[in-house]
Amino acid sequence: MIDLKNIKVAWFLGSRQIKRASIWTNVLIVIIMILTFLNLVVVSGLLVGLIEGSVNANKKYYTGDIIISKLKENNSILNSRSIIANIENTPGIKAYSARYLVSGRVESNYQSRTNFDDVPEEVGTIIVGVNPENENAVTNIQDLIIEGEFIESDDFDQVVLGAFLLEKYLDITSPGFLVLRNVEIGSKIRIKIGDSVREMTVKGITKGKVDETDRRIFMNDTQLRSMIGRSDLNVGEISIVTDSSTTPDRVRDILINNGLDQFAQIQTFEDAQPKFLLDIKRTFTLLGTIISSIGLTVAAITVFIVIFINAITRRKYIGIMKAIGVDGKVLEMAYVFQSLIYAIIGSIFGLVLVYGLLIPYFDKNPINFPFSDGILVAPYGITTIRVMILIIVTALAGYIPARIIIAKNTLDSILGRK
């Protein structure tokens, strides 16, 4: 039976073996442990971070913390004025932006069109009417302007285009995916909403890897309302940002308890995530786990080999220890402690690298992927589980070879017999 005294002896023997080992051997094993830890955490973290970057951008530049949208059976949010008044009186709401949404078409290069039998250069899109100050307070959309400027409240006949409407930023040759050619800041375009047609000037272009901004047209809400002849003031969606005194879930529940869900759909940014994003996130998590498992297996085999060779070269020493009365279980535990020391030191260095260096670096310098700004995602809970897995696997990798060697006959071990 293993008691506290035996544990102390095993710890002494295991730590002494590490102290007496070559410093380069110890460094190599610790590096393997660090790389294994990084493989467990960083690979899956970057894969999930691809999607998390999209989710964060969608929240920051579109939904805010809460988004209120129309019910499926309606064309707009009914009773919008009452809902907005309720929002203004709800504690914990920092800012909101009410948006008018309407389907329309935008035409370019009509001035140089000579043959009116030709198909006009038109693109169908969603035209969004916003209060510029409110929109900037919620989404900081001015940060997405890559050319020109965002509209101001007194701008008339001026619009901001999403970059994915323009050939310059989305060079796709597809009959089903139309884009506008030769459109720059200051270009004249025609906005067509039903029977209403108006010539406008391009003031800015947005690009933020969010479809709801990159494939839309923004203009002042007062002008859009006059173009569509809307007098009921019902908007298409409302994005809300909460302050630090509350949570999105709490504000959502307050709005629902006030009965606003009978006029609109009320969701937090998490509720509003598209299902395909969640499916991709789960897929990437699984893929990262598979890749990490390969690295974990390699590390376990490496530790197994190191401990096995160490135990073989010390067979005579092990036999003598058993002969003078040291329990074989104590010797096995000594090798397990040796493995644990390597795993724990490697994990500590790995944690410092991940949380002290890599996560802050990727937060400031996200990976520029075509569809998102990738970051490193490493939740503490999941990381803790992976550290425990690494430690357990490493301990087993140390125990098994030690068990094989120590189980041999004591006299054979002393005499070096096979």
The whole-number pLDDT of residue 407 equals 65
Q: What is the pLDDT of residues 387-411, one digit of tens each?
A: 888 888 888 877 787 777 666 655 5
Q: How confident is the model at residue 202 (pLDDT cuts 50, 70, 90)?
A: very high
The whole-number pLDDT of residue 130 equals 93
DSSP assignments along 23-69, one per residue: HHHHHHHHHHHHHHHHIIIIIHHHHHHHHHHHHHHHIIIIIBSEEEE
User: In this structure, what is the dihedral angle of CA atoms 101, 76, 96, 279, given to the nearest 10 degrees?
Assistant: -80
Q: Which one is predicted more confidently, 133 or 46?
A: 133
Q: How confident is the model at residue 23 (pLDDT cuts 50, 70, 90)?
A: confident
> Do 120 and 152 contact (CB within 8 A), yes or no?
no
Q: Which one is predicted more confidently, 415 or 28?
A: 28
The whole-number pLDDT of residue 134 equals 94
Phi, psi of 137 (to 5 degrees): -65, -30
**pLDDT over 90 for what percent of the chain?**
30
Check whether 195 has a pLDDT greater than 80: yes
> Do 105 and 123 contact (CB within 8 A), yes or no?
yes
Q: Which one is predicted more confidently, 277 or 252?
A: 252
User: In this structure, what is the dihedral angle of CA atoms 258, 266, 101, 240, given to the nearest 10 degrees?
Assistant: 80
Q: How confident is the model at residue 337 (pLDDT cuts 50, 70, 90)?
A: confident
CB atoms within 10 A of CB 24: 8
Whose tokens are 């040759």? That residue is 173
> Do 376 and 49 contact (CB within 8 A), yes or no?
yes
> Do 346 and 30 contact (CB within 8 A), yes or no?
yes
Check whether 343 has a pLDDT greater than 80: yes
> Do 129 and 100 contact (CB within 8 A), yes or no?
yes
> Do 67 and 239 contact (CB within 8 A), yes or no?
yes
Check whether 418 has a pLDDT greater than 60: no
> Do 128 and 99 contact (CB within 8 A), yes or no?
yes
CB atoms within 10 A of CB 262: 9
Going by DSSP bridges, is the β-strand pair 367-368/66-70 parallel, antiparallel, or unpaired? unpaired
